[in-house]
Amino acid sequence: MTGRERVVRMSVELPLWRALIGYRLLTTVYAVLLFVFTREKFERPQIAAAFLAVMVLWTLATLPRVKNAARCTRPFLIADLTVALTGILLTPLADAQAQSVDGPTLPSIWTAGAVLAFALKGGWRWAGFASSLVAVANIVERGEPSRDTLHNVLLVWVASIAIGYVVEVARASERTLARALEIEAATRERERLARDIHDGVLQVLAMVQRRGTALGGEAAELGRMAGEQEVALRSLVAGGLVPPSRLSDDGALGAVVREAEAPDDDAQGGPVDLRTLLTPHAGARVTLSEPGAPVLLERPVARELAAAAAAALDNVRRHAGAQAQAWVLVEEWPDEVIVTVRDDGPGIAAGRLAQAEGEGRLGVAQSIRGRLRDLGGTAELISVPGQGTEVELKVPRGKAER
């Protein structure tokens, strides 16, 4: 597509609300016809006629209220259920034999519509609340719980709760489907942009890098910067994870980002994706390998772990030389998260770390091991002279959360 992707979201609840409108209309007609054909059985038919008139007017006037969940407010639900309960309790006044004969109440099966509205609006818990009130009203109206009364009450109770549960599952499925459609649309758009960028900007940057390296001098520095921008742009197109940042002024390691602005998620709370904090460190001489799915950690834990990885990369830049290559690997396991920083520098001589700590240089002891110790994790450093250095940062999820 050359235009903007449009995600169509279809509400799975809409057919249920339409069915509820039809149910309320049909059951209103049924209750009125039931009274018309059995009018001679009522000792006080004027009470029944008055209630049914109110019920008809209420049903017609509130049809817009049951079109969707937004219009079906709590005050309306309470008022609607009150009408149904009032009709049940007025039945013995209109028909003195109602308590001795298991006949229909004044609203008859219209009452179930009020309970179903609770189910569609709030799920199975709201349905259970409304159906329980209807059950109590029916038992009070009959005077004593007969077999038929209990049967009808149980039927309404189970049916409304089941429908409420189905509505909750449908809503969750709708949200999942909508999110999947949005991701698919965003992925297609990113792929389209990636093709356009690759055909233009990335090819130009790659050419500048090659030509600058061949010419040497100031052109070589320009070529190096073009190479860094190419890597950053590829990372942005591939994952969309690079936040706004400032370019590096020192190019010892070739990292594109030296000072990155963290995502503005402090006000939102909740976990943060570790990948968003590590991606800015990717550059011409830093390769980042990460899972395809978000690596979610509590915000303080993610930031401390990212800071420890950044400290390890700083050591590579300072001690391994300008041409050293670094690799950052992120692994997520059910019980822990591991970040490994490896380089191909000259390695660390035996006893050098202890000597540096004795001289007051505590980069490894505090910036790396100290951070992991505070998180309840570990930092293991393996170095072989002439074969580079590897720093493995482990954070157990349980300890980190505590």
Each residue's pLDDT tens digit, 333-391 = 989 999 999 998 887 766 555 555 544 344 555 678 888 888 889 988 888 777 888 99
Residue 150, pLDDT above cutoff 80: no
DSSP per residue, 150-213: HHHHHHHHHHHHHHHHHHHHHHHHHHHHHHHHHHHHHHHHHHHHHHHHIIIIIHHHHHHHHHHH
The pLDDT score that the predictor gives to residue 248 is 39
pTM of the model: 0.47
The pLDDT score that the predictor gives to residue 243 is 44
The pLDDT score that the predictor gives to residue 263 is 45
Residue 24, pLDDT above cutoff 90: yes
The pLDDT score that the predictor gives to residue 257 is 37
The pLDDT score that the predictor gives to residue 354 is 53
d(CA 122, CA 76): 13
Find, among 184, 195, 294, the residue nearest to 237 by Cα: 195
Question: How does the average pLDDT of the chain come out, rounded?
Answer: 78
C-alpha dihedral sign at 125, 84, 88, 27: negative
- The better pLDDT of the pair 289, 102 is held by 289
Choose the weakest-confidence range: 87-91, 118-122, 318-322, 386-390: 318-322
Token representation of residue 225: 């910067």
Residue 331, pLDDT above cutoff 80: yes
Q: Tell me what the mean pLDDT of segment 277-286 comes to.
A: 86
d(CA 245, CA 301): 22
- The better pLDDT of the pair 266, 199 is held by 199
The pLDDT score that the predictor gives to residue 314 is 83
Residue 12, pLDDT above cutoff 80: no
Find, among 204, 203, 248, the residue nearest to 228 by Cα: 248
Q: Tell me what the mean pLDDT of segment 120-147 comes to.
A: 84
Find, among 244, 276, 275, the residue nearest to 260 by Cα: 244
Q: Tell me what the mean pLDDT of segment 156-173 comes to.
A: 84
Are 108 and 26 in contact, with CB atoms under 8 Å apart?
A: no
Q: Tell me what the mean pLDDT of segment 261-276 comes to.
A: 65
Most confident of 30-34, 40-44, 99-103, 319-323: 30-34
The pLDDT score that the predictor gives to residue 187 is 75
Most confident of 48-57, 119-128, 210-219, 280-289: 48-57
Which tens digit of pLDDT belongs to each residue from 202-215? 667 777 878 888 88
Percent residues over pLDDT 70 in the chain: 75
Choose the weakest-confidence range: 1-5, 137-141, 236-240, 269-273: 1-5
d(CA 99, CA 92): 7
DSSP 252: S
For residue 74, count CB atoms less than 10 angstroms from its CB and return exposed for 0-12, middle for 13-18, buried for 19 or more.
exposed
Percent residues over pLDDT 90 in the chain: 23
d(CA 395, CA 35): 72
Assign 79 a pLDDT band (cuts: 50, 70, 90): very high
- The residues that bridge with 392 in the sheet, in sequence order, are 340, 380
Please name the residue that has the structure tokens 């309320």.
24
- The better pLDDT of the pair 152, 355 is held by 152
